[in-house]
Structure 1
Amino acid sequence: MIHEHESVDRGITDCVIFGAGEYYDEIPDVPQDAYVVAADGGLDHTRSYGIETDAIIGDFDSVADDFSAYIGLRNITRLPSEKDETDMLSAVKIGWAQGARRFHIYGGLGGRLDHTLANMQMLARMAYHGGIGFLHGNGFVATAIADATLDFPAWDAPERRMVSVFAHSDRAKHVSIRGLKYEVDDVELRNTRALGVSNEFLPGRPATIGVGDGTLSITFAAEAPSPTWRTTHETEGPNALGGLDTEISALLARR
């Protein structure tokens, strides 16, 4: 049961995606006019929160009810379970095609480690194409930037509110960190050595994390104010992430 989602740009900036992972008793924040997508078991969460969805997608192997209970809901796309891409990436593709370039993702952390790693790779992919995603969960937020800068406004940060910075690409060059407990200027980070773990916000000081050439993965305390984001990458069009993966994987072993 596949419905095509037309690629349009209706001025949407934000997309909020609900996945099937852990929510840690957090109440998701849905910006006004955001495009809302439920990915597979994330549909159970949107229904429990009473949140209306613009699109629903997945192979529906993790919803609480039998999939037949959802037949008839509008804007629903059923994918094969033996596919090459995750339901979460498919949800991002739908939001991207609608014009969103800033994504807030709930239920994408915790649970299965392989899905968490896949979601971190997904953030890097979005950053490379001129977007940004924020994975929310367990008191922190994870994101990725490519040839870009995150600026945090000053806030009354309590002690030991952490920020960690990792190279996602093999090498991340021209990395600068300002306004945090540990500062660096124009250094190179590698993805085989974790030098940026457990930095800290300082009360009353704005903070900046930037990379001139490469991709960084960043985690920060959920209490921190939302950062602004600047990138030198062109914001790519509605098909930049590719079409939906609606076919059974050709990589399946033959038996």
Structure 2
Amino acid sequence: MMSVSVLVISGGDMADPDRIGRDMREYSSPVLVCADGGARYAAAAGVVPAAVIGDMDSVDAELLSYYESRGSVVIRYPVSKNETDTELALRYALSLEPKEIRLYAALGGRIDHTLANISLLSSSMLRCVDTRIIDDRGELFAVDDRAVVRGSTGQTVSLLPLTTEVSGITLEGFEYPLCEATMEPGRPYGISNRLAGTEGRIQVRSGRLLVIHYSDAGGEAGATSM
């Protein structure tokens, strides 16, 4: 049975690195994995990762040596490779057979890196594991079946297609409900919906939908895939 929760730190923006330590305490069996420069955020938070993975072009050798002395596994890849450091870290996370993956510092900075990290949510390798990008304003995750978004009334929830077509989209508990709708790239009408209460339900018949849940309206963002 999968019981490990893996927290992966990428190299994007992270205003509050201490959140890593706080969030780790919420899980019974957390494992921290850093993608290259994400190791700097772990150092700022005062935590030691189980593994640091990547081409190591964004983290200094002294920090890596310190982590190795504390038992961290350091896996080095060449700079010239087909995978991003974040993808490699996620693949390592999957090798641990986790029940869930939380990806931090995946947004901000270079827009190509941000888009690449979001696109990873559509990867077939992640479809069997509850995987979410966490940032300072909320969370992002993908749906290809059903999900429940839990939060506060008025919180913004935006929906975008991750595949060429997402059909059979039904929304309940939102300010703008849908019934058997279709979304395609280039028609972003799923932007800026809102929770009508504390819970919104999403159902998708085919395709993969990106859910962006902001916690702006008060309360904590939270969602459960079903």
Per the shorter chain, which TM-score range?
Answer: 0.7 to 0.9
Select 1:151's aligned residue among 134, 148, 153: 148
Within a 5 Å distance, the mapping from 1:63-74 to structure 2 comes to 63=59, 65=60, 67=61, 69-71=63-65, 73=68, 74=72
Counterpart-to-counterpart distance in 1, 2:63 and 2:191: 45
Residues 171, 156 of structure 1: CA spacing in aligned structure 2 closer, same or farther, 3 A cutoff?
A: closer
Q: TM-score, with normalisation over the residues of structure 1?
A: 0.77
Structure 1 position 152, deviation (Å)? 2.5
Matched, 1:217 2:210: yes
Which runs of 5 or more residues in structure 2 are unaligned? Answer: none
Select 2:40's aligned residue among 37, 44, 47: 44
Q: Show the counterpart of 2:10.
A: 19
Residues 13, 185 of structure 1: CA spacing in aligned structure 2 closer, same or farther, 3 A cutoff?
A: farther
Q: Show the counterpart of 1:227.
A: 223
Select 2:96's aligned residue among 98, 101, 108: 98
Counterpart-to-counterpart distance in 2, 1:35 and 1:18: 11
Q: Show the counterpart of 1:112.
A: 110
AA at the equivalent of 2:146: T
Q: TM-score, with normalisation over the residues of structure 2?
A: 0.87
Structure 2 contact 139–221 (Cα < 8 Å) conserved: no
The share of aligned pairs that are identical, in percent, is: 23
Match of 2:107, SS?
coil
Output one character per residue of 1:94-134: Cα deviation in whole Å (capped at 9) or x when no partner.
11010014211111000110111111110110576322321
Q: Show the counterpart of 2:186.
A: 192
- 4+ residue segments displaced more than 6 Å: none
Counterpart-to-counterpart distance in 2, 1:120 and 1:21: 12
Q: Show the counterpart of 1:206.
A: 199
Residues 127, 206 of structure 1: CA spacing in aligned structure 2 closer, same or farther, 3 A cutoff?
A: farther
Match of 2:166, SS?
strand
Q: Show the counterpart of 2:73.
A: 75
Matched, 1:168 2:162: yes
Q: Show the counterpart of 1:233.
A: none
Structure 2 contact 4–96 (Cα < 8 Å) conserved: no
Corresponding residue pairs, total: 214
Structure 1 contact 126–132 (Cα < 8 Å) conserved: no
Structure with the higher helix share, 1 or 2: 2
Structure 1 position 221, deviation (Å)? 1.2
Structure 1 position 88, deviation (Å)? 0.5
Structure 1 contact 109–116 (Cα < 8 Å) conserved: yes
Match of 1:197, SS?
coil
Structure 1 position 226, deviation (Å)? 1.9
Residues 112, 183 of structure 1: CA spacing in aligned structure 2 closer, same or farther, 3 A cutoff?
A: same
Residues 128, 170 of structure 1: CA spacing in aligned structure 2 closer, same or farther, 3 A cutoff?
A: farther
Residues 190, 96 of structure 1: CA spacing in aligned structure 2 closer, same or farther, 3 A cutoff?
A: same
Structure 1 contact 132–145 (Cα < 8 Å) conserved: no
Structure 2 contact 169–205 (Cα < 8 Å) conserved: yes
